[in-house]
Structure 1
């Protein structure tokens, strides 16, 4: 599992990892396995760990007063999962996070993350690049939600993340896009005809 993370760091950092760096990462990250539908976090709990997905898929979602789920984030291999606000501020989360497939993760606590940022330049560089990428992705998603119709939102999502169509059920993708599953079915049918 750790080798997958070391390979991931190489993609996001020009700085090499020393043997000491790798040992510190191993000390601060703990392997975790989740079964399908098992929770990583439940609303109301404090997010004590942040997870790097080595294998599997996950979703982060809220549930409204009517019991409707609203997916705010999806994750696959080499993606991170957790509620950052709860993780850093130690406040109760508004979100549930669960495994959509059996998952293998490497999880880190807030103090471990801080130690790695302070001591490993490759980790610091990776974190900085991820924050930048996350902000850009959030802005794209928000713009798409505010200005795009259902068809455009779906097309944009599939262009950026084609694996989503294979890995996530349609009702999960529909929730992520903020549309109902019947609308998504019509969009997919019309895309197949063109």
Structure 2
């Protein structure tokens, strides 16, 4: 399936589109190929794009005052990544976004997104559902770090995203789970 068709497939899961609307959508998304280990966003910049990953793997992270990286998101094929707070507010981001693999992306700017939602109002429903799911996932992740053990968080990740262990360095997975690399190694040995 081609990159634009992948995106349309996901839009069509939650909304019906005419051929004219599909053409409008394809006219506002830009296809980009980014090599591994490239920063798509640096903390302090305004997040000007929303990215749909057709192929590849990216992470978003922040760096605390001690210089430690904390992974906020790991996203792979057929997922979205951005700093939504910065994207919608057009204020500087606290996060970095980096490619972990050579990645094929479809991206849209904030201005084009606003234009798209005016021209194809049906997409309001798609993005409402998408952003609701993102909010619920963020809350679930926060709750998991407060109430679930590291082993439970690891088991959840294995169940929900087993491919992440083939594509993402363990040090990043540990950071995402909120544990040290040594703790992750211990958990993996126990399995």
Q: TM-score category by the smaller chain?
A: over 0.9
In structure 2, the gaps of 5 or more residues are none
CA root-mean-square deviation? 1.3
Segments ≥4 residues shifted beyond 4 Å: none
Corresponding residue pairs, total: 189
Q: Secondary structure at the match of 2:184?
A: helix
Tell whether the 8 Å contact from 1:58 to 1:98 is kept in structure 2 after alignment: yes
1:121: how far off?
4.5
Does 2:111 align with 1:111? yes
Tell whether the 8 Å contact from 1:9 to 1:122 is kept in structure 2 after alignment: no
Q: Secondary structure at the match of 1:154?
A: helix
Structure 2 length-normalised TM: 0.94
Q: Secondary structure at the match of 1:80?
A: strand
Corresponding residue number in structure 2 for 1:94: 94
Q: Deviations over 1:20-47 (max 9, x none)?
A: 1122112211111110001110111111
Does 2:85 align with 1:85? yes
Tell whether the 8 Å contact from 2:56 to 2:104 is kept in structure 1 after alignment: yes
In structure 1, the gaps of 5 or more residues are none
Corresponding residue number in structure 2 for 1:180: 180
- For residues 30-109 of structure 1, the aligned pairs below 5 Å read 30-109=30-109
Question: 1: distance between equivalents of 2:93 and 2:135?
Answer: 20
